[in-house]
Amino acid sequence: MNINYLNEASQIFKILSNETRLKMLVNLENKSISVNDLSSLLNIEQSAVSHQLSILKKHQLVDTDRVGKSIYYRLDDPHILDIVNEAVQHSSHVIRVKKHGE
């Protein structure tokens, strides 16, 4: 394991450690969504959504396009979802093991 990137890796995990941001990324998997739409979709107020999106954008996980008055967000780096997937699989596995004592 290349230990030099552990600091960067921890940054990535920090970004992914927030359920709201995860939901955003997953929802953006195959389409762009405007800030307002994300806000109502996730049931989180606009300002909070903007703040979180700015974090994702700062770290180049998403990028934006303006369409009229709206800003549409889209994944900038779909590979990030592979990491999310690994974690989801890990979770579902752990939960299965707990339930059935495999």
Partner DNA sequence: TGTACATATGATATATTTTTCATATGATAA
Partner DNA sequence: TTATCATATGAAAAATATATCATATGTACA
Stretch that binds a copy of itself, among 33-41, 42-50, 63-71, 93-101 (CB under 8 A): 93-101
Q: How far apart are CA 3 and CA 62, in angstroms?
A: 26
Q: Binds 56, which of a copy of itself, DNA, none (CB < 5 to 8 A, cut-off by type)? A: none
Neighbouring-strand partners of residue 11:
none
Decide: is 69 part of the binding site for DNA (CB under 7 A).
yes
Is the Cα torsion angle 49, 23, 54, 77 positive or negative in sign?
negative
Neighbouring-strand partners of residue 74:
63
The footprint of a copy of itself on residues 18-77 (CB under 8 A) is 18-19, 22-23, 26, 29, 60, 77
Cβ-based nearer residue to DNA, 65 or 86: 65
Decide: is 17 part of the binding site for DNA (CB under 7 A).
yes
Decide: is 41 part of the binding site for DNA (CB under 7 A).
no
Distances from the Cα of 15 to the Cαs of 30, 89, 93, in angstroms?
20, 19, 23
